[in-house]
Amino acid sequence: MGQFDGKVVIVTGGALGMGRTTALEFAREGARVVIADINADAGRSAIAAMPAGAGHLSIADVAGATDCQSVVADAERAFGGIDILFNNVGIQPTTSYANVENTTEEMWDRILGVNLKSYFLMSKFAIPSMRRRGGGVIINNASVQGLQSMKGVPAYAASKGGVLSLTRQMALDYAAERIRVLAICPGTIDTEMVRASAVNEPDGVEAALERYGRSHPIGRIGTGLDIANVVLFLSSDRASFMTGEYVCVDGGYMAMGAWASGAGAAEA
């Protein structure tokens, strides 16, 4: 028996990266998992990697209310309700590294729409289902950039700071209904997004990832499984006295103050 037998989980951005690994770990622990993603091929691949009948793919752009409502409806139709929501989806397009003056309104709106607005919308529509099941858990994927930042990512940094504030606020509103709300703040994680950001590094992608790792006290960048392990713990009854907080999963990055020292790494 798995620790999430009988539980239904939604993972936004669950086709690739941290979301995919976490979705697979939930399924491995007995959960029924809905992956919400715009990448149909990668989403189908993720579902195929789960135990038979454990997964459902909902093709959606969760930056809009209609698609978020559809994801929730898919989860209820496929598995009967929602117990856990992992608001994971996040973007930082490689074309949008710029200061505020050079960030377009279109790019600002898109990044905030995916990275922050979708967390609000998915929570808004999932909470009634959780309430009907007597409670639930919402885990929001923020970033160490919600706490500190790097140059050239004003929209991304603003979105991640907003995720942390939204997490605290929702935790207060819903604690009495046994709905816990928490956030994680990853450091640099080996994902497709981080690799894409390293493509233009002069020393090449692999060397850049090793260099990023050396800037973390633990000596490496993180993996999807590092994130999944923490998300599953926070979603479990073992974390039942935790709400309204964030957990850094960053290899000691924030403890060292690496941002202030100028040791560069990619966004999480």
Domain range list for the chain = 8-187+224-247, 190-221
Q: How far apart are CA 222 and CA 216, in angstroms?
A: 9
Confirm whether 156 is a catalytic residue: yes
Q: Which amino acid makes up residue 94? A: T
- pLDDT of 42-54, one tens digit each? 999 999 999 999 9
162-179 tens-digit pLDDT: 999 999 999 999 999 999
CB atoms < 10 A from the CB of 207, how many? 12
pLDDT digits (tens, 9 = 90+) for 26-43: 999 999 999 999 999 999
Strand 32-37's sheet: what is its strand order? 55-59, 32-37, 8-12, 84-87, 136-141, 179-186, 246-249
Cα–Cα dist 134/227, whole Å: 27
| Domain boundaries 8-187+224-247, corresponding CATH code | 3.40.50.720
- Write down the pLDDT at residue 96: 84
- The model's confidence at residue 130, banded by pLDDT at 50, 70 and 90, is very high
What is the token pair recorded at 258? 């690496």
Amino acid occupying residue 170: M
Residue-wise pLDDT for 53-76, tens only, equals 999 999 999 999 999 999 999 999
Annotated catalytic residue: which of 119, 156, 212, 253?
Answer: 156
Instruction: Identify the three-state secondary structure at position 246.
Output: strand
